[in-house]
Amino acid sequence: MLSMYDATIPALTRTLRNLANILKIGEAHADTKKIEHTIFLNARLFPDMYPLTRQVQIATDMSKGAAARLAGLDVPKYEDNETTFAELQARIAKTIAFIDTVKPEQMVGSESREVTITVRKVDLKFTGQDYLLKWVNPNVYFHVTTAYNILRHNGVELGKPDFLGPRK
């Protein structure tokens, strides 16, 4: 049987590591082509969508929030003030470090734990399993995919293997 820990922690960690690699490739491309980093960091797919920096912030917020809520911990608060690739990499690393502190036993029974989050002043209530499967996973993958697509749209040579990462 798949535990909530196994369904959450390894998948989020892997996805964040892949995001870090995608950003590394984007930064290297900008350096090679002599493109100012802010061009990529502020790039959007469409005017009403968030820029690359915010996509990374949301993906990390969703990830740390899931790990904390499902383990019964306080969600770490971040400033959302990153303006460089290095700062985004540090945010991802900090998020992975936090997620790595969660132990399997902390998540036992979390599939039925009530999770309430507030979005635009509206309380959304989930069971832990629905929170993970119907809120966290779609949001994390959406924002990581959007970050990938922003860089790809701007000429960074990325492929599906960069999104999926190593097969370990």
CA distance 100 to 106: 12
Q: How far is CA 57 from CA 75, 131, 133, 154, 156, in A?
A: 14, 19, 20, 20, 20
Mention every residue, 6+ apart, whose C-beta is less than 8 A from residue 79.
Answer: none
Question: In the prediction, which pLDDT does 69 show?
Answer: 98
What is the per-residue DSSP string for 61-91?
HHHHHHHHHHHT-PPPP------SHHHHHHH
104: its two tokens:
């399997």
Question: Which pLDDT score, from 0 to 100, does residue 81 have?
Answer: 98
**Residue 148 in tokens:** 């990938």
Look up the CATH number of the domain holding residue 118. 1.20.120.450
58: pLDDT confidence band, cut at 50, 70 and 90? very high
- Strand, helix or coil at 2? coil
Handedness of CA 51, 167, 102, 91 (dihedral sign): negative
Q: How many domains does the chain have?
A: 1
Q: What does the pLDDT look like over 69-95, one tens digit per residue?
A: 999 999 999 999 999 999 999 999 999
* Predicted pLDDT of residue 168: 67
Triad 42, 16, 140: Cα angle to 5°: 75
Mean pLDDT of 46-61: 98
- Measure the CA–CA gap between 38 and 82, rounded to whole angstroms: 11
Percent of the chain with pLDDT over 70: 99
* Maximum Cα–Cα distance across the chain: 51
pLDDT at 1: 84
pLDDT value at position 38?
98
* 66 has a pLDDT exceeding 70: yes
| CB neighbour list of residue 146: distance below 8 Å, 6 or more residues apart | 45, 49, 50, 55
Residue-range definition of the domain harbouring residue 53? 4-104+111-164
pLDDT tens per residue, range 118-151: 999 999 999 999 999 999 999 999 999 999 999 9
β-partners of residue 126 are: 115
Q: Tell me, what amino acid is at 163?
A: F
In this prediction, residues 37-45 reach a mean pLDDT of: 98
**Position 166 pLDDT exceeds 90:** no
* Residue 152, pLDDT score: 98
